[in-house]
Amino acid sequence: MTRASGSLLAALFGRVGLLFAVIVLAVGSVAFITAQRRIDEIYDGQLIIGANVLRALMAEELRQQGPNGAEETELQVDDSALLSPEDRAAFDNYADWRMFRVWRGGMLVLRSDTGPVMTAPPISDGFADQETPQGRWRVYTLHVPGKPVVVQVGERTNIRLVLVRGIALGLILPLLALIPTAGVLIWLGLQDGLKALRTLIAEIGRRTMRDLSPLALEPWPRDLHPLVRSINRLFARIDRALGNERRFLDDAAHQLRTPLAAVKLQAQLIAREDDPAERRALTAQLVAGVDRAAALTDRLLTLAGLEARQATGESGDLRRETVAAIADLAPVAARRGVELSFEGEGAFPSGDPMLLRLVAANLVENAINHAPAGSEVLVRLARRAEAYELSVMDAGPGIAASERPRVTERFFRGSSAASIGSGLGLSIVAESLRLLGGRLELRDRPDAGSGLWAMVKLPEPQPQNAAFPD
């Protein structure tokens, strides 16, 4: 984006206008130069012809006046009789803008009234430009071969300039006259072209928050299709996000209602109870109920935070976070009489430590919650080809294969699951793995016993942090 603000229409108009001006200027220049060349060629040609005609006409007069009619070089002629009156009249027609001179034996014997003054005959043949106070002249000089006669014919150069200007103006003026017309036409055309964009903007502006249905492509010009598609994709994303938010709120309200109702009931019971021992017992239950509601709220907030979270560049160690999660959960396991066991040595450098901890903690807690007393939860870390494997195995009832695809949905509880847990643990795992680029697999235990084998596969960060393709 280089243009931060300003009118698109004005910018387009400005560019088209500039292009038009350049074209007019170029056409004018080319026309001027070309016309000048052609006119120079034609007029120079006419000067040559004029000089030769003058020489030819004079030759007759010179012969008539020769003493023996044979030796033209010896001719002694009277100046006034070099041209017949008719020929002289013909040349005088040019008088104003043409000139002629005839030199013989170094003397000026004949000249028109116009043209630059010269005291000596020119030496060389050909064209020369001569400056006079009255203007510039183009003069052609011709030495008559074998005779001491020099003929000069010239004309004012400004006659050529006038002609060239006339031709160039004849070309440019219509173009210049076209500029306002073209400007209006271009402006109208651009307005018309942008009308579709304005209509699209108005259409989007009319939408309400609830109307996120995709825009149809048909009524819009093809150039606007990418914009329409982008807007539709954005609509779809917003729609999904809003849907998630709505479902999340519904679920959260529904899930919190139950523990809050229990808390209320226990509070009412305490109010009625007189026996101090009973009151203590009920109060303990009340505190436990409040703890459960608080834990559920924490998890809901964690999940909401994860769904809004973008992947961070932070790097942690999967083993460190897994061991820390086991340490946090060891008291829970001890209370439930579940043994914890861990395998996995060395460093497992991986992504965002907070996400790694959430994955490990939720899988281990799930396993502890579903493992029968006296059984063991085995947590194992291993390196596989370009991936880490974190497996958590319990001896609980497991999850039926038909329910496995749904267990990462929020608040989903399998049919065999006890009432323990919030129904959010595997959703949190799935969300964290989405951000980490990993995936979760749920299987039956590989040995004969019942139980769930949850396996997480995380990409190794080297050489680059590539996620598993879906």
Partner 1 sequence: VSLTAKEFKVLAELMRRVGRFVSKAELETALYDAAAEVESNTIEVAVYGLRRKLGSGVILTARGLGYMVPQPE
Considering only residues 344 to 363 of the shown chain, the ones binding partner 1 according to CB under 8 A are 344
Q: Which two tokens stand for residue 429?
A: 């795992």
State the amino acid at position 406 in one-letter form. R
Neighbours of 47 (CB within 10 A): 20
Q: Which is nearer to partner 1, 62 or 364 (CB)?
A: 364
Q: 251 or 328, CB closer to partner 1?
A: 328
Interface region with partner 1, contact rule CB under 8 A, candidates 38-46, 120-128, 228-236, 342-350: 342-350
Comparing CB distances to partner 1, the nearer of 281 and 287 is: 287
Q: In whole angstroms, what is the distance from residue 368 CA to residue 29 CA?
A: 90
Which strand (E) or helix (H) includes residue 349? Answer: strand 349-350
Residue of the chain from 314, 343, 386, 447 that contacts partner 1 (CB under 8 A): 343
Question: Rule CB under 8 A: is residue 224 a binding residue for partner 1?
Answer: no
- Span 260-279, contacts to partner 1 by CB under 8 A: none
CA 312, CA 328: separation in Å to the nearest integer? 24
Nearest distance from C-beta of residue 256 to partner 1, angstroms: 23
- Assess 336 for contact with partner 1 (CB under 8 A): no
Separation of first and last alpha carbons in the chain:
34
Q: Which is nearer to partner 1, 333 or 454 (CB)?
A: 333
Question: 220 φ, ψ to 5°?
Answer: -100, 145
Q: Is 398 helix (H, G, I), strand (E, B) or coil?
A: coil
Q: What's the rounded Cα separation, in Å, for the pair 89 and 371?
A: 132
Please give the Cα distance from 30 to 183 (Å, whole number).
23
Closest to partner 1 by CB, 42 or 334:
334
Cβ at position 359, least distance to partner 1 in Å: 18
Q: Is 7 helix (H, G, I), strand (E, B) or coil?
A: coil
CA gap 351, 349 in Å, rounded = 7
**Nearer Cβ to partner 1 (331/463):** 331
Please report how close the Cβ of residue 284 comes to partner 1 at its closest, in angstroms. 14
In the complex, the smallest distance separating the C-beta of residue 324 from partner 1, rounded to whole angstroms, is 8
Residue 344 CB, nearest distance to partner 1 (Å)? 8
Q: What residues from 308 to 327 belong to the interface with partner 1 (CB under 8 A)? A: 323-324, 326-327
The residue (of 194 and 330) whose beta carbon lies closer to partner 1 is: 330
Q: Does 382 bind partner 1 (CB under 8 A)?
A: no
- Min dist CB 368 to partner 1, Å, is 12
Which CB, 209 or 373, lies closer to partner 1? 373
Tokens of 276: 């101090």
Choice from 126, 341, 416, 466 touching partner 1 (CB under 8 A): 341
Told to check if 339 binds partner 1 by CB under 8 A, we report yes
DSSP 320-344: HHHHHHHHHHHHHHHHHT-EEEEE-
Nearer to partner 1, 171 or 324 (CB): 324
Kindly state the smallest distance separating residue 336's Cβ from partner 1, in Å. 12
The token pair that represents 92 in the structure block: 């005088």
Residue closer to partner 1, measured from CB, 116 or 316 = 316
Number of residues near partner 1 (by CB under 8 A): 17
The span from the CA of 108 to the CA of 119, in Å, is 8
Given 334, 382, 420, 466, the residue binding partner 1 (CB under 8 A): 334
CB of 242 to partner 1, least distance (A): 39
Cβ density class 314-349: b for 16+ within 10 Å, e for less: eebbbbbbbbbbbeebeeebeebebebeeebeeebe
- Which residue's CB is nearer to partner 1, number 54 or number 379? 379
Rule CB under 8 A: say whether 340 interacts with partner 1: yes
Of 106 and 331, which has the nearer Cβ to partner 1? 331
Minimum distance of partner 1 from residue 383's CB (angstroms): 17
| 461, 315 Cβ separation under 8 angstroms | yes
Long-range contacts at 154-161 (CB < 8 A, ≥ 24 apart): 154/47, 154/98, 154/99, 154/100, 154/115, 154/116, 154/130, 155/43, 155/47, 155/94, 155/97, 155/98, 155/99, 156/97, 156/98, 157/129, 159/43, 159/97, 160/36, 160/39, 160/40, 160/43
Taking the complex as a whole, how short is the minimal distance between the CB of residue 322 and partner 1, in angstroms?
10
- Of 128, 167, 231, 330, which one interacts with partner 1 (CB under 8 A)? 330
**Residue type for 430, please?**
A
Minimum CB distance to partner 1, residue 320 (Å): 10
d(C-alpha 446, C-alpha 391), whole Å:
12
Q: What angle do CA 243, 361, 345 make, to 5 degrees?
A: 135
Instruction: Tell me how far, at minimum, the Cβ of 347 lies from partner 1, in Å.
Output: 16
Q: State the residue for tokens 């229990």.
A: 262
Binding interface with partner 1 (CB under 8 A): 323-324, 326-328, 330-331, 333-335, 339-344, 376
